[in-house]
């Protein structure tokens, strides 16, 4: 299967001079986790939720309103592309190699679309392999009541996009890059001008996490996992058996499976 058969053709863009506040609004409105960045009507880079979470939570930027932090300060100008006739396995391998969640699709240097992990995993509908075959057994966790900025630091340190929130080893929530970016962006807007830098340090993971958590068991199928992800717009499913956390399956795990098949 060629990448042009599964790519998203609608290009959602933002100008490089726009404030990140507008970028967050656009992401939420369009229900996407990345935007193509334009300068003088030319696509020059990409902005992701990870970029926003990192920038909005940094010590330097916490001293500024998100109305004064611009896309130009946090987007990546390294556009990683793939030609429209590339095979999906090649796309999966490239995403894993580069550690990214999307590739810009080109046709003779012209940008014609974007392919994401979400686009890729759709081809796994009908796959009956058990999740225990692909799940990650080592799962990063944080205690309920922990500081959001500490959880964010953990994400950056380990290069992960989600953390499970536990209370006495019981799963009570899940925290993603999207949750961090949205919470920090909303907090800045509501608390602007009210010594919000100090208050931001007190935000807890409880304020940002998603709960209750959608889970599956080790014997459930890849098809069921993909269906849950697409229907609920989530990127990771904790694997639980008898209330014990056994692992997690993310879109990255599914892309890795595609790269090996």
Domains present along the chain, CATH in parentheses = 3-124 (3.10.580.10), 131-259 (3.10.580.10)
Given this model, what pLDDT does residue 24 score? Answer: 87
Is the full-model pTM beyond 0.85?
Answer: no
Q: Can you spell out the DSSP letters for 185-232?
A: HHHHHHHTTSSHHHHHTT-BGGGT-B-SPP-B-TTSBHHHHHHHHHHH
The number of beta carbons lying within 10 Å of the beta carbon of residue 236 is 23
**Structure-token pair, residue 109:** 């240097």
Given this model, what pLDDT does residue 17 score? Answer: 94
The number of beta carbons lying within 10 Å of the beta carbon of residue 140 is 16
Q: What is the mean pLDDT of the chain?
A: 89
CB contact at 8 A, 104 and 13: no
Is 60 exceeded by the pLDDT of residue 66? no
Instruction: Give the three-class secondary structure for 58.
Output: coil
Reference 23, options 59, 61, 64, 67; nearest CA is 67
Q: Which residues pair with 34 in a beta bridge?
A: 48
Given this model, what pLDDT does residue 174 score? Answer: 96
Tell me the Ramachandran region of residue 169: left when phi exceeds 0, alpha when psi lies from -120 to 50, beta otherwise. Answer: left
CB contact at 8 A, 164 and 141: yes
Rounded CA gap, 71 and 140, in Å?
A: 30
Task: Report phi then psi at 176, rounded to 5.
Answer: -120, 170
Task: Give the Cα-Cα-Cα angle 140, 62, 145 (nearest 5 degrees).
Answer: 40
Per-residue DSSP letter, 44: E
Reference 32, options 101, 107, 106; nearest CA is 101
What pLDDT digit, counting tens, does each position of 83-117 carry? Answer: 999 999 999 999 999 999 999 999 988 899 999 99
Question: Please, what is the end-to-end C-alpha distance for the chain in angstroms?
Answer: 13
**Average pLDDT, stretch 48-75?**
73
Given this model, what pLDDT does residue 191 score? Answer: 53
**Average pLDDT, stretch 26-33?**
90
**Structure-token pair, residue 108:** 């003779």
| Element containing residue 159 per DSSP (H, E) | none
Is the torsion defined by CA of 103, 48, 119, 259 positive or negative?
A: positive
Report residue 177's pLDDT band, with 50, 70 and 90 as the boundaries.
Answer: confident
């Amino acid at each position: 299967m060629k990448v042009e058969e599964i790519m998203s053709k609608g290009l959602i863009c933002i100008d490089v001079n726009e404030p990140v506040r507008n970028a967050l609004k656009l992401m939420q409105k369009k229900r996407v986790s990345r935007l193509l960045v334009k300068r003088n009507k030319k696509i020059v880079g990409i902005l992701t939720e990870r970029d926003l979470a990192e920038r909005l939570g940094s010590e330097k930027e916490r001293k500024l309103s998100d109305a004064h932090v611009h896309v130009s300060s946090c987007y990546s100008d390294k556009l990683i592309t793939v030609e429209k006739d590339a095979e999906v396995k090649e796309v999966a391998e490239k995403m894993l190699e580069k550690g990214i969640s999307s590739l810009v699709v080109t046709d003779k240097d012209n940008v014609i679309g974007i392919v994401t992990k979400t686009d890729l995993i759709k081809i796994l509908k009908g796959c009956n392999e058990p999740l225990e075959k692909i799940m990650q057994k080592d799962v990063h966790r944080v205690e309920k009541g922990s500081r959001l900025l500490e959880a964010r630091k953990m994400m950056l340190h380990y290069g992960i996009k989600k953390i499970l929130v536990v209370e006495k080893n019981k799963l009570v929530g899940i925290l993603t890059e999207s949750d961090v970016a949205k919470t920090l962006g909303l907090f800045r807007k509501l608390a602007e001008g009210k010594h919000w830098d100090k208050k931001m340090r007190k935000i807890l993971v409880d304020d940002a996490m998603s709960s209750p958590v959608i889970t599956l068991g080790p014997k459930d199928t890849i098809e069921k996992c993909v269906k849950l992800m697409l229907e609920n717009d989530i990127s990771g499913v904790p694997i639980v058996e008898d209330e014990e956390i056994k692992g997690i399956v993310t879109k990255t795990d599914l892309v890795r499976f595609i790269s090996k098949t």
